[in-house]
C-alpha cells in the first residue's frame, strides 16, 4: 500500500539527471548559437541605444513640447494636455527626468514591436480557425507563466542588457494586441461582409476596407492594453539590465527606501495614465461615425 | 417563353446543410423529406430539386415562409452559398464552374444585391457606400463618385452624401442599399427581402421607386419576399417555395386563380381578390363587342365593379393593350371571380 500514501514519483537521481540533461542541452544550445543570436539582435540594440540617447540628450523643453503636441493630436483635449504638462514638470522636478526618458524609449519601441508583430498575427488568427487553435495556447502560456521563468533562458542566451529586457517586455505585453485584433475582426457583422462579398471584393479589399476599420475600436483597446502591460513590466525588466524608472524601484525594494519606491512607482503610474487617456481618446475619435446621432 | 429570353436557368439544384451532405443527397433524391432527413442524418435540407427559369428584364419573385429556402436560393445565384448539386446557367455559362477570380469578376459586373438588413458599411459615408461596388474595381475616385452621385440623386437622397448610414432612417438606408446595387450597372439585381424591414408606408413607397426604376432600366430582378401583396404588386412571375421545394412557379394571376396546393391556397386566402384579379383572368373569350363599357384586360375587378354598378345588366367589353376585343364580363362572372374558390375553404358560417 505504499503507492497509496506516497506518490509514485521518479527517483531523485532520475530527476536530477533529467534536469541536468535539459540544462546542458540549453547551455550547449546557447554556447553554439548564442553568439549568432546576439549578432542577429545587434542592430536592434544599436537602435535602442540610439533611441534612448535621443530622448535623454534632447533638451527637456523640446521633449515636453513634442509630448504635449502628440497628446493634443491624439486626444484633442485641453484637459489631457494640461495634465500631461503638469505631470512631466512634476516628474522632472523630483529628479526622475532621465529615468523617465529611458523608460519612455523602451516602452515606445516595445509597443511598436508588439503592434508590428501582433496585428498581423491577429489577422492570421481571424482568417483561420486552425491558426487560432494553434496560437491561443501559446498566448495563454505567455500571459500566465511567471515572468521570471522566461527571463532565465533569455538571459542565458543574450546575457543582461537592453535587448533581453525588450524581449521580456514584448513576451509579456504582446498577447492583448493579438487577441483583440483577432476578436475585433471576428466580431465584424457577417451581413456587412456578405455585402462586400456580393459586390466582388477580394480578401484584401475586405480586410483593409471593411474588417480592419470596423475592428479598429477593439484593436485600439488591444494597443492600449499592450502599452499598459509593457509599463507594468518595467520593474521586472530592470532586473536584467534595463535602465529607467524600474531600477530605482528595485533599489528601493532591496533597501526599504519608501520614498524612492513611491516616487518612481507613481511616475510609472502617471506615464500609464497619460498613455491610456491619449490612446483611448484617439481610438474614439477614429470612429466618429458611431457617435454622431441623427440631426 | 422562348429560350432566348431566359437569362438565368437553375437546374436540379440541391442544397443540404451539415456534415455528410453527399450521402444525404442520395436520401433526398430518393424522396426523403426535410423532417425525416434531419432526424436520420442530422442534415438540414435547404433546397430540394429547384428548377427555375428567370426571364431577362423581368421581376421574378420568390416567395415562401421563413425557413422555406428562399434566401438560400438567392445566395446560390451569386454563390454566397455553394450548392450540394445542380447547375446554374447564366447565358449558358455555369456559374458554379467559375474560378474564384472569375467569380469576383462576375459579382462585380453582372450581379448586385440588396439586403434585408441593409448591410451598409457603417464606417463609410453614403457616397462611399453607393460607390463601393465601383471603388473595388479600381475605378478612379472621380469616376465612381460621379456615378454614385447620380444614383444618390436618382433614389432621392440628394444632399445626404456625407452622412453616415447610422444617421439615416431605415427607409433612407435602404435607398442607399438600392443605389449601391444599381451603381455597378449590373444586369441582375438580387433583392433579399429588401423591403421587409421597413414599415408599411415606406415599404409601399420603396416598391413604387423600384417599379419606377424598372420601367426605365429593365433589369432582371430576383425579388425575395414573404409578403403576397408585395409579390403581386411587383412580380412578373412568382415562384413559391416550401421546405426547400418549388411548389408553384407561374404568372401572378395564375397563382390566385389556380393555386397548386393547400400551401399556396393558404398563402392567398387573405388577399383582397377584387383588388388583384385582372379582367383577363375571368373573362369569357369572344371577339364581338358587348353592350356595356369597354375596359382594358389588365383592369382589376374592383374597378370593373365600379363601372358596372351603373349598368349592372350590360356586360363589359374587354380589350387588350392593342385595342383588340378579347372577351366580355358579366356581373355573374365578377361575383364568381371575387369569391374564394371552393378548395380554399370558407370562414363564413351560418
Predicted pLDDT of residue B26: 83
User: How open is the CA angle B118-B121-B124, to the nearest 5 degrees?
Assistant: 135
**Assigned fold of B278-340:** CBS-domain (3.10.580)
- Range among B182-196, B279-293, B331-345 with highest mean pLDDT value: B182-196
**pTM to 2 decimals?**
0.83
Q: Where are the alpha helices (DSSP H) in chain B?
A: 21-29, 34-41, 70-77, 100-109, 126-130, 132-135, 141-154, 170-183, 200-217, 228-234, 252-257, 262-268, 273-276, 279-282, 301-308, 331-338
**By the 8 A CB rule, do B9 and B88 touch?**
yes
Q: Which residues of chain A have pLDDT under 70?
A: 288, 290-295
Contacts of A81 (CB under 8 A, 6+ apart): A68, A71, A72, A75
Please tell me if the domain spanning B56-85+97-110+186-268 has the same topology as the one spanning B278-340. no
Domain contains A183? yes
Number of domains in chain A: 1
A contact set with B (CB within 8 A):
189, 191-192, 194-202, 205, 209-210, 213-214, 287, 289-290, 292-295
Report the phi/psi class of residue B244: left, alpha or beta, with left for phi > 0 and alpha for psi in -120 to 50: left
Give the chain A residue whose CA is nearest to the CA of B102. A200
CA terminus-to-terminus distance, chain B: 46
Answer yes or no: is pLDDT of B160 > 60: yes
**By the 8 A CB rule, do B203 and B179 touch?**
no
Instruction: Tell me what the mean pLDDT of segment B124-149 comes to.
Output: 93
* B276 vs B278: CA distance, rounded Å: 6
Which of the four pLDDT bands, split at 50, 70 and 90, describes residue B350? Answer: very low
Predicted pLDDT of residue B1: 47
- Range among A5-9, B188-192, B289-293, B314-318 with highest mean pLDDT value: B188-192
Q: Which of B136, B186, B192 to substitute to test the interface with A, most A CBs within 10 Å?
A: B136
Q: Which of A184, A199, A214 to substitute to test the interface with B, most B CBs within 10 Å?
A: A199
Whichever domain contains A190, its CATH number is 1.10.3720.10
| Pick from A189, A202, A287: CB nearest B104 | A202
Rg for chain A (alpha carbons), in Å? Answer: 23
Which of the four pLDDT bands, split at 50, 70 and 90, describes residue B107? Answer: very high
Predicted pLDDT of residue B291: 84
Predicted pLDDT of residue B219: 93
Give the chain A residue whose CA is nearest to the CA of B76. A198
A90 backbone dihedrals φ, ψ, rounded to 5°: -65, -45
Output b/e per residue, B173-193; b: 16+ Cβ within 10 A.
Answer: bbbbbbbbbbbbebbbbbbbb
Q: What is the ipTM of this complex?
A: 0.84
Instruction: Tell me what the mean pLDDT of segment B214-234 comes to.
Output: 92
* A247 vs A253: CA distance, rounded Å: 10
* B133 vs B144: CA distance, rounded Å: 9
Predicted pLDDT of residue B206: 93
DSSP, collapsed to helix, strand or coil, labels residue A287 as coil
Please report, for residues B274, B284, B309, B316, B334, the alpha-carbon distance to residue B331 in angstroms, rounded to integers and kept in the order given. 13, 12, 9, 9, 5
Predicted pLDDT of residue B163: 92
* B194 vs B184: CA distance, rounded Å: 18
* B243 vs B66: CA distance, rounded Å: 9
Dihedral of alpha carbons B57, B63, B69, B72, sign: positive
Contacts of A264 (CB under 8 A, 6+ apart): A96, A99, A245, A246, A248, A249, A252
Give the chain B residue whose CA is nearest to the CA of A205. B136
Determine what percent of chain B is predicted with pLDDT higher than 70: 96
Predicted pLDDT of residue A219: 92
Q: What is the DSSP string of B72-111?
A: HHHHHHTTSS--SEEEEEETTEEGGG--HHHHHHHHHHTE
The better pLDDT of the pair B344, A113 is held by: A113
Subunit contact B104:A292, Cβ cutoff 8 A = no
**Model pLDDT for residues B49-87, shown as the tens digit of each residue:** 999 999 999 999 999 888 888 999 999 999 999 999 999
If you average pLDDT over every residue of chain A, what do you get? 90
| B26 CB neighbour count, 10 Å cutoff | 9
Give the chain A residue whose CA is nearest to the CA of B133. A199
Which residue segment(s) compose the domain that A90 sits in?
A: 44-291
Q: Where are the domains of chain B?
A: 56-85+97-110+186-268, 278-340
**By the 8 A CB rule, do B311 and B348 touch?**
no
B168 backbone dihedrals φ, ψ, rounded to 5°: -105, 160
B172 backbone dihedrals φ, ψ, rounded to 5°: -65, -40
Dihedral of alpha carbons B206, B210, B212, B213, sign: positive
Task: Give domain B56-85+97-110+186-268's CATH number out of 3.40.640.10, 3.10.50.40, 3.40.50.300, 1.10.357.10.
Answer: 3.40.50.300
Which of the four pLDDT bands, split at 50, 70 and 90, describes residue B290? Answer: confident
Cβ neighbours of A202 in B, within 8 Å: 104, 136
Domain contains A161? yes
Compute the count of residue pairs across chains A and B with CB atoms less than 8 Å apart.
72
Amino acid at each position: 500500500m505504499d503507492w497509496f500514501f506516497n506518490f509514485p514519483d521518479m527517483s531523485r537521481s532520475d530527476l536530477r539527471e533529467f534536469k541536468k540533461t535539459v540544462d546542458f542541452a540549453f547551455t550547449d544550445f546557447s554556447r553554439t548559437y548564442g553568439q549568432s543570436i546576439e549578432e542577429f539582435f545587434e542592430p536592434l540594440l544599436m537602435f535602442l541605444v540610439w533611441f534612448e540617447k535621443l530622448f535623454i540628450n534632447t533638451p527637456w523643453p523640446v521633449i515636453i513640447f513634442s509630448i504635449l503636441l502628440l497628446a493634443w493630436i491624439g486626444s484633442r483635449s485641453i484637459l489631457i494636455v494640461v495634465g500631461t504638462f503638469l505631470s512631466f514638470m512634476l516628474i522632472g522636478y523630483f529628479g526622475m527626468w532621465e529615468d523617465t526618458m529611458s523608460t519612455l524609449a523602451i516602452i515606445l519601441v516595445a509597443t511598436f514591436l508588439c503592434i508590428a508583430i501582433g496585428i498581423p498575427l491577429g489577422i492570421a488568427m481571424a482568417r483561420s480557425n486552425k491558426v487560432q487553435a494553434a496560437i491561443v495556447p501559446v498566448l495563454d502560456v505567455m500571459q500566465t507563466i511567471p515572468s521570471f521563468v522566461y527571463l532565465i533562458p533569455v538571459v542565458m542566451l543574450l546575457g543582461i542588457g537592453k535587448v533581453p529586457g525588450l524581449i521580456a517586455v514584448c513576451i509579456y505585453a504582446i498577447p492583448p494586441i493579438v487577441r483583440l485584433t483577432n476578436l475585433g475582426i471576428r466580431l465584424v457583422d457577417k451581413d456587412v461582409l456578405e455585402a462586400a462579398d456580393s459586390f466582388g471584393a477580394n480578401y484584401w479589399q475586405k480586410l483593409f476596407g471593411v474588417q480592419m476599420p470596423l475592428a479598429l475600436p477593439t484593436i485600439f483597446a488591444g494597443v492600449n492594453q499592450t502599452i499598459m502591460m509593457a509599463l507594468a513590466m518595467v520593474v521586472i525588466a530592470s532586473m536584467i539590465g534595463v535602465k529607467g524608472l524600474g531600477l530605482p524601484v528595485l533599489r528601493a525594494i532591496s533597501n526599504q527606501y519608501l520614498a524612492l519606491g513611491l516616487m518612481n512607482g507613481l511616475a510609472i503610474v502617471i506615464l500609464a495614465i497619460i498613455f491610456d487617456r491619449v490612446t483611448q481618446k484617439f481610438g474614439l475619435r477614429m470612429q466618429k461615425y458611431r457617435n454622431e446621432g441623427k440631426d | 417563353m422562348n429560350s432566348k429570353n431566359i437569362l438565368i436557368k437553375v437546374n436540379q439544384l440541391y442544397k443540404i446543410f451539415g456534415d455528410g451532405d453527399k450521402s444525404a443527397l442520395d436520401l433526398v433524391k430518393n424522396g426523403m423529406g426535410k423532417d425525416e432527413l434531419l432526424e436520420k442524418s442530422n442534415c438540414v435540407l435547404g433546397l430540394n430539386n429547384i428548377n427555375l427559369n428567370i426571364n431577362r428584364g423581368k421581376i421574378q419573385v420568390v416567395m415562401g415562409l421563413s425557413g422555406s429556402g428562399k434566401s438560400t436560393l438567392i445566395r446560390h445565384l451569386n454563390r454566397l452559398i455553394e450548392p450540394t448539386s445542380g447547375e446554374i446557367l447564366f447565358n449558358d455559362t455555369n456559374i458554379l464552374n467559375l474560378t474564384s477570380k472569375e467569380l469576383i469578376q462576375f459579382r462585380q459586373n453582372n450581379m448586385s444585391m440588396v439586403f434585408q438588413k441593409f448591410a451598409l458599411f457603417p464606417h463609410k459615408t453614403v457616397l462611399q457606400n453607393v460607390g463601393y461596388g465601383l471603388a473595388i474595381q479600381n475605378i478612379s475616385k472621380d469616376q465612381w463618385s460621379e456615378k454614385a452621385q447620380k444614383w444618390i440623386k436618382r433614389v432621392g437622397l440628394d444632399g445626404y452624401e456625407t452622412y453616415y448610414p447610422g444617421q439615416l432612417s431605415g427607409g433612407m438606408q435602404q435607398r442607399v442599399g438600392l443605389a449601391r446595387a444599381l451603381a455597378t450597372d449590373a444586369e441582375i439585381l438580387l433583392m433579399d427581402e429588401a423591403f421587409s424591414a421597413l414599415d408599411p408606408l415606406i415599404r409601399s413607397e420603396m416598391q413604387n421607386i423600384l417599379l419606377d426604376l424598372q420601367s426605365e432600366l429593365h433589369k432582371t430582378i430576383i425579388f425575395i419576399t414573404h409578403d403576397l401583396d408585395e409579390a403581386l404588386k411587383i412580380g412578373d412571375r412568382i415562384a413559391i417555395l416550401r421546405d426547400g421545394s418549388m411548389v408553384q412557379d407561374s404568372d401572378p394571376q395564375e397563382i390566385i386563380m389556380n393555386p397548386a396546393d393547400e400551401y399556396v391556397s393558404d398563402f392567398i386566402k387573405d388577399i383582397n381578390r377584387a383588388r388583384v384579379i385582372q379582367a383577363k383572368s375571368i373573362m369569357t373569350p369572344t371577339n364581338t363587342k358587348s353592350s356595356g363599357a369597354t375596359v382594358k384586360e389588365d383592369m382589376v375587378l374592383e374597378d370593373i365593379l365600379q363601372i358596372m354598378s351603373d349598368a349592372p345588366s350590360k356586360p363589359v367589353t374587354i380589350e387588350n393593350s392593342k385595342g383588340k376585343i378579347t372577351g366580355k364580363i358579366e356581373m355573374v362572372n365578377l361575383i364568381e371571380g371575387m369569391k374564394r374558390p371552393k378548395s380554399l375553404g370558407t370562414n363564413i358560417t351560418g
